[in-house]
Amino acid sequence: MENASKTALVEAQVEDRIGYITLNRPERRNALSYALVSQLKEVFSAWQGDPAVRVVVLRAKGPVFCSGADIEYLQKLQDYTLQENLADSLHLMELYLMMYRYPKPIIAQVEGPALAGGAGLVTVCDLVVATPQATIGYPEARIGFLPAMVTYFLLRRVGEGWARQLLITAEPIGAEEAHRMGLFNYVVSAEEVANFTKELAMRLVTQTSPTSQEFIRKLIADLQDMPLKEGLEFAAKMNAHARATEDFRRGIAAFLKKEKISW
């Protein structure tokens, strides 16, 4: 692997213009802590403007993708003041927002349970490749808590009906049901999931324009909150900006010449 670096809680490496972020806390079920969230934000920030990274794959070591907040961490939160809890919540919110508005596609490779905050990480990714053993759930209501921030993204991903079922019952669901709801895009055997995810990422790297990917993600993030006319005007402006980019010139030239373009 090239450009490899390692931290205590997160491993980050780049290969073939794919950035791999691996949660590296298997002994604690890759539970979220303030430090782990900080390290995720650092890696995403470092790669945001790096042309050597075109697509990001988020995965995890061990049998659990992410079990949500660390138990010891939750115990400490009970003694926090309102302002301290707000600051802590904003820390995770910033990660979710960074991922949702990231200029590059993010693929989650989920091979085990993704629960609570871990389900939030999956929900804000663009594409999700899961194994049949993977599960996802938002169990916060079982402990008197609520999945506050992830609700915003879950509503956008699967709609109100499925979101109500997932959040109100607080019951985890299996890979096939998550696929049916639209939470998981692909369900692939454990033996094939790594190669499948890499091949999917490579197709995005080589067959799609990085500028187009950035503009598409901005359209998806921004359009849904706009009234019809404002949204269409925004889309028209984005269209005009896209036509002025070098990627557009290259793509049109290759299309007219019937040449294959490699991005």
Q: How far apart, in Å, are the Cα atoms of 236 and each of 193, 216, 219, 224, 226?
A: 38, 13, 11, 15, 13
CA distance 113 to 65: 6
Q: One of 140, 160, 199, 246 is an active-site residue; which one?
A: 140
- Residue 51, phi then psi, degrees to nearest 5: -70, -15
Task: List 187's β-bridge partners, or say none.
Answer: 130
84 carries an active-site annotation = no
Task: Tell how far CA 59 is from the center of its chain.
Answer: 10
Residue 135 and residue 142 in contact, taking contact as beta carbons nearer than 8 Å: no
Q: How far is CA 94 from CA 109, 133, 182, in A?
A: 22, 30, 24
Listed as own residue / partner, the contacts of 112-115 with beta carbons closer than 8 Å and 24 or more positions apart are 112/60, 112/62, 112/63, 112/64, 112/65, 113/29, 113/64, 113/65, 113/67, 113/137, 113/172, 114/65, 114/66, 115/66, 115/67, 115/68, 115/139, 115/172
Report the catalytic residues: 140
